[in-house]
Amino acid sequence: MSDWDASVVRPLALEVLGERYRRYRLSDPVAEEAMARSLQRYGQIAPVVVCVHDGSAEVVDGFKRLAAARLLLPRWSTLCVRLLEVDDRAAKAAIYALNRVSRSTHELEEAWIVHALVREDGLSQVEAAALLGRHKSWVCRRLAILERLSPEAKEDLRLGLLSVSVARQVVRLPAGNQTEVLQVTRRDGLNAAEVRGVVDLLLASASREQEEYVLAKPREALQQAHGTTPRTWDPRLSVAGNRVARRLAELLDGLERLEHWLLHRGRAELTPSERGLLTPSFTRLVRDTVVVADVYAAGDITAFHHPLFDRRLRLESWRHAQNQGIAVGKAMCGDATPYDDIPWFWTDQHGVNLQVAGLPADAVRTVVRANAPPSVFTAVHLAKDGSVIGVTAANNPREIRAGQALIKANCPVDPDALLDANIPLQRLIRR
């Protein structure tokens, strides 16, 4: 070995390739068989990397190729090898570094390497971090996986029965309590996020009874603690389908709570300025719900939130059907703007043109305009705060147009000025 130029790749017999560092890697028989097929078909593309330890060649990178070549014995008896001139510690670091580019080291393998450097070679965590080119916290987390995990959990991890993300949560508990959490995880098929929640609850439990409840009914405990929807699995749906079903359940749960609030306390609980601040969000909720549900509707059939009246409306008039239809058509083309037309209805009955704007039914007071010609009639409907909420007019379309502007202005008007039909409504609009 002493005459080996490190820049030269040379063939070495399989039996002289040592596997001293094999214990830092997980074995994968399926991948080894696939590698054997690849060796047969394409030959050895990349050399195995070795270092010299006590005079013999020890594999640092290429355990899978070595195992595959051994499967092909006696036809395959040598492998091309490249020498890495490093000491024992640097060889361990190289196992990690050579696989880091392809991200092929398992977190458990990294933990074994870190453990060997710190506990066997006596490096401090800071030194190990520097050697591996990682932060000290990275080293600390990997050390914790091996040192704080119970023997049973460690074995499960090695065999691939336990994921590293779950192991990372379990190590937060004393080793004595880890087994029961692992049993619950297996029994109820908990995911890493749920295990994290369960561990949080166990750490916060004040009595054994509380702990037992969390262990017996982990999802119910999580739901009670966080109000989250328990994770369920619908076998009729794919992974993506189940993910969407969970999101929908969360959204519907939130809507139900909001509806409950509207029913029992409602917007009256909010100050007018708060309502103003929240109105854009309500409008957006309506718009986004339509977009997400991919269902559009307009006209008689719809109930919708009207931003000006701040309440849910259903209207039956042809102009509403027409204008809401236009707004919905625009929204379908990506131009979504809040639909806030003032309700307006007209009809001709027995030679009388009758028009109604706004919501007269919501008024607390109605002022009938006096001094108008006999064929003309206008009534102005006022809300609690003195603003105009509706106008009813017979043979007086001009007043209806002005009335719509007054409704939109949404500010109190002088009732005495309203009384006199000689003062056009147009003049009462504050700009």
Ligand X SMILES: Cc1cc2nc3c(=O)[nH]c(=O)nc-3n(C[C@H](O)[C@H](O)[C@H](O)COP(=O)(O)OP(=O)(O)OC[C@H]3O[C@@H](n4cnc5c(N)ncnc54)[C@H](O)[C@@H]3O)c2cc1C
Which residues make up the interface to ligand X (CB under 6 A)?
A: 299-301, 316-319, 321, 345-347
Decide whether 328 or 372 has the Cβ nearer to ligand X.
Answer: 328
Provide the minimum distance between the beta carbon of 319 and ligand X in the complex, in angstroms, as a whole number: 6
Strands across the sheet containing 352-358: 344-349, 352-358, 388-394, 377-382, 365-368
Provide the minimum distance between the beta carbon of 324 and ligand X in the complex, in angstroms, as a whole number: 8
CA distance 125 to 328: 62
Decide whether 239 or 301 has the Cβ nearer to ligand X.
Answer: 301
Start-to-end CA distance of the chain, whole Å, equals 96
Decide whether 112 or 377 has the Cβ nearer to ligand X.
Answer: 377
CA distance 172 to 200: 9
Token pair in block for residue 234: 């619908």
Phi, psi of 359 (to 5 degrees): -125, 75
Residue 385, helix vs strand vs coil: coil
Decide whether 213 or 346 has the Cβ nearer to ligand X.
Answer: 346
Q: Residue 420 in contact with residue 401, Cβ under 8 Å?
A: no
Provide the minimum distance between the beta carbon of 323 and ligand X in the complex, in angstroms, as a whole number: 11
Smallest CA-to-CA distance from 143 within 182, 181, 179, 116 is with 116
Q: Residue 57 in contact with residue 1, Cβ under 8 Å?
A: yes
Decide whether 313 or 417 has the Cβ nearer to ligand X.
Answer: 313
Provide the minimum distance between the beta carbon of 403 and ligand X in the complex, in angstroms, as a whole number: 16
Provide the minimum distance between the beta carbon of 349 and ligand X in the complex, in angstroms, as a whole number: 9
Decide whether 245 or 394 has the Cβ nearer to ligand X.
Answer: 394
Decide whether 251 or 297 has the Cβ nearer to ligand X.
Answer: 297
Smallest CA-to-CA distance from 216 within 187, 178, 175, 173 is with 187
CB-closest chain residue to ligand X: 299
Decide whether 296 or 318 has the Cβ nearer to ligand X.
Answer: 318
Cα-based angle 414, 417, 421 (whole degrees, multiple of 5): 145
Decide whether 213 or 345 has the Cβ nearer to ligand X.
Answer: 345
Smallest CA-to-CA distance from 202 within 210, 191, 194 is with 210
Task: Enumerate helices (H) and strands (E) in the chain, giving the number of each.
Answer: 17, 11
Provide the minimum distance between the beta carbon of 352 and ligand X in the complex, in angstroms, as a whole number: 12
CA distance 153 to 176: 11
For helices 63-71 and 29-42, the axis angle rounded to 10 degrees is 70
Provide the minimum distance between the beta carbon of 233 and ligand X in the complex, in angstroms, as a whole number: 36
Smallest CA-to-CA distance from 361 within 392, 338, 330 is with 392
Please list, in sequence order, all residues whose beta carbon lies within 8 angstroms of the beta carbon of residue 237, skipping any fewer than 6 positions away. 245
Provide the minimum distance between the beta carbon of 321 and ligand X in the complex, in angstroms, as a whole number: 3
Provide the minimum distance between the beta carbon of 244 and ligand X in the complex, in angstroms, as a whole number: 28
For helices 136-147 and 107-115, the axis angle rounded to 10 degrees is 90
